[in-house]
């Protein structure tokens, strides 16, 4: 019986990444749901912030280890559960995968997180149109680079790295889901949308989709 617990929110793209790693590796895990919906804000409740002082999901608990940050969690899972390795063997391919991952994890998602959007609304007096443009801008900037890297046939196959889904796909698919949610046009992102479509046919990706989570609000 697995002792793993993941604190997750269905629409959180960082939680989605960890759900994908768990599903691809076929790791049993118990889910705890933190509702980030504005006005509910369970991430700010004391019984959660005493576990994660940053007040964010995902958060993994494993026999006394309490770990936030999706990249740290996924690396821990990769090192603990070697089945279905998420990184390729070749050093150059691993480097390319990490490059794609970092564009999304460092240069797109942090600018579009809920706390940042709320700051724009509350402290910078941005209206909804301004917030939407901000959101779209950082996805477009990042996806332009991702698309151009994915055009390189040496690395890219049916998926971000060759012909099986791995770490880069785990970051890409949740970011594409966010882009669609916020009405970002995906025209011209041919490789990104082809890879996303290929992932949508894989059972692990279907299991991890936001709409298939027990806390999806319909």
Ligand X SMILES: N[C@@H](CCC(=O)N[C@@H](CS)C(=O)NCC(=O)O)C(=O)O
CA–CA separation, 151 and 174 (whole Å): 20
CB of 70 to ligand X, least distance (A): 3
Closer Cβ to ligand X, 114 or 120, answer by number: 114
- Residue 71 tokens read as 């990249």
CB of 89 to ligand X, least distance (A): 25
195 counts as binding ligand X under rule CB under 6 A: no
CB of 190 to ligand X, least distance (A): 27
CA–CA separation, 218 and 213 (whole Å): 10
66 counts as binding ligand X under rule CB under 6 A: no
Contact between residue 159 and residue 196 where contact means Cβ atoms under 8 Å apart: no
58 counts as binding ligand X under rule CB under 6 A: yes
111 counts as binding ligand X under rule CB under 6 A: no
- Residue 12 tokens read as 């959180």
Q: What is the dihedral of CA 8, 160, 25, 80, to 10 degrees?
A: -90
191 three-state secondary structure: helix
Q: Which residues contact 218 (CB under 8 A, 6 or more apart)?
A: none
Q: Which of 8, 69, 156, 213 binds ligand X (CB under 6 A)?
A: 69
Q: What is the DSSP code (8-state) at residue 160?
A: S
57 counts as binding ligand X under rule CB under 6 A: yes
113 counts as binding ligand X under rule CB under 6 A: yes
Sheet containing strand 59-62, edge to edge, reads 30-33, 5-8, 59-62, 65-68
43 counts as binding ligand X under rule CB under 6 A: yes
Q: Which of 40, 95, 115, 197 binds ligand X (CB under 6 A)?
A: 115
Touching ligand X, residues 7-36 (CB under 6 A):
12-14, 36
Contact between residue 20 and residue 208 where contact means Cβ atoms under 8 Å apart: yes
Number of residues that bind ligand X (CB under 6 A): 15
CB of 91 to ligand X, least distance (A): 24
* Site residues (vs ligand X, CB under 6 A): 12-14, 36, 43, 55-58, 69-71, 113-115
């Amino acid at each position: 019986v697995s002792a793993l617990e993941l604190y997750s929110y269905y629409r959180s793209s960082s939680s989605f990444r960890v759900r994908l790693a768990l599903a691809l590796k076929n790791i049993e895990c118990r889910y705890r749901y933190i509702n980030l919906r504005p006005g509910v804000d369970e991430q700010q409740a004391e019984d959660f912030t005493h576990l994660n002082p940053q007040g964010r999901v995902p958060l993994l608990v494993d026999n006394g280890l309490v770990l936030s940050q999706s990249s740290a969690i996924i690396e821990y899972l990769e090192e603990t559960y070697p089945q279905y390795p998420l990184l390729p063997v070749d050093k150059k391919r691993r480097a390319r995968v990490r490059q794609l991952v970092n564009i999304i994890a460092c240069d797109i998602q942090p600018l579009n997180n809920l706390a940042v959007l709320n700051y724009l609304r509350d402290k910078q007096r941005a209206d909804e149109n301004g917030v939407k443009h901000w959101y779209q801008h950082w996805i477009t900037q990042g996806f332009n680079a991702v698309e151009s890297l994915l055009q390189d046939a040496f690395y890219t196959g049916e998926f971000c790295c060759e012909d099986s889904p791995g770490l880069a796909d785990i970051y890409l698919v949740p970011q594409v889901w966010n882009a669609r949610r916020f009405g970002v046009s995906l025209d011209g992102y041919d490789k990104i949308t082809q890879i996303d479509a290929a992932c949508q046919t894989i059972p692990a990706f279907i299991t991890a989709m936001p709409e298939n989570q027990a806390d999806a609000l319909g």
